[in-house]
Structure 1
Amino acid sequence: MPEVIFNGPEGRLEGRYQPSKSKTAPIALILHPHPRFGGTMNNQIIYELYYMYVKRGFTVLRFNFRGVGRSQGTFDHGAGELSDAAAALDWVQTFHPDSRGCWIAGFSFGAWIGMQLLMRRPEVEGFISVAPPANLYDFSFLAPCPASGLMVHGDADKVVPMKDVQALVDKLKAQKGITIDHETLPGANHFFADQTDTLLELCGNYVDKRLEVLGKVEM
């Protein structure tokens, strides 16, 4: 798990990077929760998602948004963080020009940033959005959503009510050409306290299912 520093739009960004042994393996970019509420790349769910992809042969990067940890800059309410994510993906791709596709996984605020990034990057073929904050941010840019993916939410989430996530899922499921899987964890709160293992099992099973169809990773 090499520590890396790479250039972002507002200075250097700090990350953790694990290249795949396969030159053609897809890339996974992992995006952390809200910086103003303690979100970092070392969040437990971000950490576990990172290794979930590593175990499946992906080239994986997680990093701190601007102003977090050793990343330079200051919080920019989403616009700058989206630019950070784009710069992070660019950085990985320079070392893996033969990579076949990309996945984005984000938790809460990171899910919102990730969904915006996939709208701008046609190479993204899959996503995982954990507790997408559909009541706090505008997701109307997903018109249409260009890739299939998984949305996971807890039914005891007091930060993002179930009805808001369900409305987003229903809107995306109505679109043609993509498939949105939706999993609700009974009793799970916004941070999936005591349910991280269940969350990661769901995410891992979803990626395995997609990889079986896509046939992208050389293990």
Structure 2
Amino acid sequence: MPDVIFAGPEGRLEGRYQPGRAANAPIALMLHPHPQHGGTMNNKVVYTLYQAFARQGFSVLRFNFRGVGRSQGEFDRGEGELSDAAAALDWLQAYNEKASQCWIAGFSFGAWIGMQLLMRRPEINAFVSVAPPANMYDFSFLAPCPSSGLVVQGDDDDIVPESSVAKLVNKLSQQRDISIDYRVVPGANHFFTNRLDAMTGHVEDYINQPPHEPQPGEPAGK
């Protein structure tokens, strides 16, 4: 699990990278929760997602947004953090030019950033959004949502109410040509305390479903 430092828009960004074993291993980028509320790449949910993708053979990168840990810069209300995520994906793709697929996964604020990156990068095949803050941020930019994905939410979340996420999922599910898999974890709070195994199970189950294989002519990891 080597430490990595790569160039971001406002200086260096700090990350952790786990390469896949296969030459064409799929890639996945992990995005952490809000930097001003203690969010880092070492958040338990983000680390658990990172490990889940690594176990499934992905080349996985998690990193600190600007101003967090050893990453340079200052918090930029999401705009700069989106640029950081794009730089991280560039780095991940550069090291995995033959990647068979490209996924993005985010938790809370990271899920919001991840969905914005999804709109900008057509090579992303699928997404995993854990507790997307649909009650705090505007997700109307997902019109249309370009890729299918998984949304995981706890039904005891007092930061992001399950009802707000269900409303977002319902809206996205009405769009054509994509499928949103919505999994609700009973008894789980925002941080999935004592429920991380259940969250991981849903993620690994979704990763192993067959529909995410890119079709002929569809962009994959690069």
Cα distance, 1:215 vs structure 2: 8.1
Determine the structure 1 residue equivalent to 2:135: 135
Determine the structure 1 residue equivalent to 2:181: 181
Counterpart CA distance in 2 for 1:97 and 1:7 is 18
Cα distance, 1:21 vs structure 2: 2.1
Cα distance, 1:50 vs structure 2: 0.6
| TM-score (normalised: structure 1) | 0.95
The answer to whether the 8 Å contact 2:101/2:214 transfers is no
Cα distance, 1:158 vs structure 2: 1.0
Counterpart CA distance in 1 for 2:121 and 2:142 is 13
Cα distance, 1:130 vs structure 2: 0.3
The residue identity in structure 2 corresponding to 1:98 is K
Secondary structure, aligned partner of 1:90: helix
Determine the structure 1 residue equivalent to 2:38: 38
Moved more, 90-99 or 164-173: 90-99
The share of aligned pairs that are identical, in percent, is 63
Moved more, 75-84 or 19-28: 19-28
Counterpart CA distance in 2 for 1:82 and 1:101 is 21
Cα distance, 1:100 vs structure 2: 2.1
Counterpart CA distance in 2 for 1:31 and 1:210 is 24
| TM-score (normalised: structure 2) | 0.94
Cα distance, 1:94 vs structure 2: 1.1
The residue identity in structure 1 corresponding to 2:213 is L
Unaligned runs of 5+ residues in structure 1 are none
The residue identity in structure 2 corresponding to 1:154 is G
Determine the structure 2 residue equivalent to 1:214: 213
Counterpart CA distance in 2 for 1:133 and 1:61 is 22
Cα distance, 1:18 vs structure 2: 1.1
Secondary structure, aligned partner of 1:205: helix
Secondary structure, aligned partner of 1:123: coil
RMSD: 1.3
Matches within 5 A, 1:1-219: 1-210=1-210, 214=213
Counterpart CA distance in 2 for 1:62 and 1:126 is 17
Counterpart CA distance in 1 for 2:12 and 2:84 is 10
1:158-187 CA deviation, whole Å, 9 max, x = no partner? Answer: 111122111100010000100000011111
1:195-214 CA deviation, whole Å, 9 max, x = no partner? Answer: 01111111111111147x62
Secondary structure, aligned partner of 1:41: coil
Cα distance, 1:63 vs structure 2: 0.2
1:35-76 CA deviation, whole Å, 9 max, x = no partner? Answer: 111110001111111111111111110000000000000001
The residue identity in structure 1 corresponding to 2:93 is Q
Counterpart CA distance in 2 for 1:100 and 1:116 is 22
The residue identity in structure 1 corresponding to 2:104 is I
Counterpart CA distance in 2 for 1:210 and 1:202 is 15
Counterpart CA distance in 2 for 1:210 and 1:155 is 28
Counterpart CA distance in 2 for 1:16 and 1:37 is 21
Secondary structure, aligned partner of 1:124: coil
The runs of at least 4 consecutive aligned structure 1 residues that moved more than 3 Å come to: none
Counterpart CA distance in 1 for 2:195 and 2:210 is 23
